[in-house]
């Protein structure tokens, strides 16, 4: 039975409300996601996001009959909640102050061979955030009744029901053992097992919205709210139900997350920032990640997609962008990004495109993802030259572009009817392309990158 699903999509850069009916985008509205400087540390401005969602739901409900709500949110965020409100602010994962606890934290975190969660900078390991909050903010921590992943914070806000969910617990948190499907030794070491509410599946309905939310928004009191999902895993859902392994999805936005379904976990290496995430059914998925969207913006210095002529001018000039421009993510996060050679301003987007394609190619190779289709979804799917360059770098694999900027939200909407009975739109195959000088350029770029100390 058809129903309109509202997705609360909380990204690192923007928050969005999107409405879907059997995979068709009906309506959407977005706003910037704000970070407050503190105290007690930089944190998500959840009240601004909450007010945005209430206003957007009210507006959407005037013209659409919404039957379900599904939250999805970026990783490396979670909420300590009390009886009725947050016990502590939701930490911004870019807060570097957590580094001060590293000498004590490293003694507790499980080894990579167990957690498949590499040591990441700042607060990108959610377990490190929790340790910091417990050790540096004990008064706030003592008020917590539960700790929930960020998607499940919004579920709790809508329903009052607190739950845990595996795609968030398994997203480089140090809190999960992917191969065993259970919490890690860190939970006991931090003595926080009592804070983890019962585990539910991302597609489980948890109850109707609170009466006061129905009154404020005009939504029907029986509107169902589903558990919710980590955003990169939401991007993966359409392909889990429509394709056979092996295949890799490049979920692109602020981050580029490379998720290889059907790939062995044996080649994962924490030095490469490769790891295992966990899919909606609890299965470990080999992944790599780098902050491609942010790096692209820094290198490009402007907007607009490049063309092939610009790409070939950059290659002919020998100019190179060498990692890392974001300070986090990928095999060379500790290196300081640099542009070697002269590049005209009009060609900077081509340089940025080439850089992101080369880093993606390098990470896929390190992961052992040499077979199966490559599907680009999100921001970079709207950059045809990125998709075609990736295809030229990896000629034995077919590249597809998901012509859909709402891929994360569309995937999350599927949870309201899982597995979906409706048709899943196929991504568009990318035509092969020959780029003059690309092979030689890649060899020179790889040699230059190999000189960078990790």
CB 176 within 8 A of CB 184: yes
The pLDDT value recorded for residue 1 is 45
Q: What is the pLDDT of residues 297-336, one digit of tens each?
A: 999 997 778 999 999 999 999 999 999 999 888 999 889 9
Q: What distance lies between CA 390 and its chain's CA centroid?
A: 20
Look up residue 255 and give its DSSP letter: S
Please enumerate in sequence order all residues whose Cβ is within 8 A of that of 271, keeping only pairs 6 or more positions apart, or say none. 118, 331, 454
Cis peptide before 40 (omega within 30 of 0): yes
> For all residues of the chain together, what is the average pLDDT?
95
How would you write 382-411 as a 3-class SS string?
A: HCHHHHHHHHHHCCCCCEEECCCCCHHHHH
Distance CA 144, CA 190 (A): 14
- What confidence tier does 94 reach under pLDDT thresholds 50, 70, 90? very high
The pLDDT value recorded for residue 453 is 60
Distance CA 350, CA 319 (A): 11
Which among 151, 146, 99 has a CA at the least distance from the CA of 125? 99
Alpha helix stretches (DSSP H) within 3-111: 46-61, 102-105
- Residue 373, exposed/middle/buried by CB under 10 A (0-12, 13-18, 19+)? middle
- Residue 263, exposed/middle/buried by CB under 10 A (0-12, 13-18, 19+)? buried
Q: What is the pLDDT of residues 374-417, one digit of tens each?
A: 999 989 999 999 999 999 999 999 999 997 767 889 999 999 99
C-alpha Rg value of the chain to the nearest Å: 21
Distance CA 424, CA 178 (A): 28
pTM (two decimals): 0.91
Distance CA 107, CA 435 (A): 49
- What confidence tier does 2 reach under pLDDT thresholds 50, 70, 90? low
Domains and CATH numbers, the chain: 4-227 (3.30.420.40), 232-450 (3.30.420.40)
């Amino acid at each position: 039975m058809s129903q309109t699903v509202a997705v609360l999509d909380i990204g690192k850069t923007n928050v969005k409300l999107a409405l879907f009916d059997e995979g068709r985008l009906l309506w959407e509205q977005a706003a910037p996601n704000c970070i407050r400087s503190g105290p007690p540390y930089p944190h998500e401005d959840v009240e601004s996001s909450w007010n945005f969602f209430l206003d957007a739901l009210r507006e959407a409900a005037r013209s659409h009959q919404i039957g379900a709500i599904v939250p999805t949110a970026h990783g490396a965020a979670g909420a300590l909640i009390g009886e009725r409100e947050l016990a502590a602010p939701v930490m911004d994962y870019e807060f570097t102050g957590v580094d001060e606890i590293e000498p004590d934290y490293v003694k507790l975190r499980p080894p990579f061979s167990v957690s498949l969660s590499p040591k990441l900078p700042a607060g990108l390991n959610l377990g490190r955030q929790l340790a910091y909050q417990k050790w540096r903010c004990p008064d706030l921590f003592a008020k917590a009744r539960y700790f929930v992943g960020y998607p499940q914070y919004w579920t709790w806000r809508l329903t009052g029901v607190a739950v845990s969910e595996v795609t968030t617990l398994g997203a480089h948190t140090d809190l999960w053992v992917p191969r065993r499907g259970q919490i890690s030794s860190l939970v006991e070491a931090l003595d926080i097992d009592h804070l983890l509410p019962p585990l539910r599946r991302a597609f489980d309905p948890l109850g109707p919205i609170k009466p006061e939310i129905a009154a404020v928004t005009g939504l029907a009191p029986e509107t169902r709210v589903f558990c919710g999902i980590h955003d990169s895993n939401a991007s993966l859902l359409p392909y889990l139900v429509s394709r056979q392994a092996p295949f890799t999805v490049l979920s692109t936005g602020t981050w580029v997350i490379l998720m290889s379904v059907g790939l062995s976990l044996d080649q994962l290496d924490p030095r490469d920032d490769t790891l295992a995430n966990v899919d909606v059914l609890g299965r470990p998925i080999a992944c790599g990640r780098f902050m491609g969207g942010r790096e692209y913006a820094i290198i490009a210095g402007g907007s607009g997609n490049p063309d092939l002529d610009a790409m070939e001018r950059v290659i002919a000039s020998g100019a190179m962008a060498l990692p890392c421009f974001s300070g986090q993510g990928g095999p060379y996060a500790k290196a300081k990004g640099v542009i070697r050679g002269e590049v005209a301003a009009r060609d900077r987007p081509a340089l940025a495109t080439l850089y992101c394609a080369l880093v993606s190619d390098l990470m896929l190779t390190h992961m052992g993802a040499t077979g199966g289709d490559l599907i680009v979804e999100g921001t970079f799917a709207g950059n045809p030259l990125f998709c075609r360059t990736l295809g030229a770098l990896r000629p034995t694999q077919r590249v597809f572009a998901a012509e859909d900027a709402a891929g994360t939200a569309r995937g999350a909407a599927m949870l309201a009817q899982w597995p979906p009975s409706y048709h899943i739109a196929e991504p568009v195959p990318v035509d092969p392309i020959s780029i003059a000088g690309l092979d030689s350029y890649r060899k020179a770029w790889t040699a230059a990158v190999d000189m960078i100390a990790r």
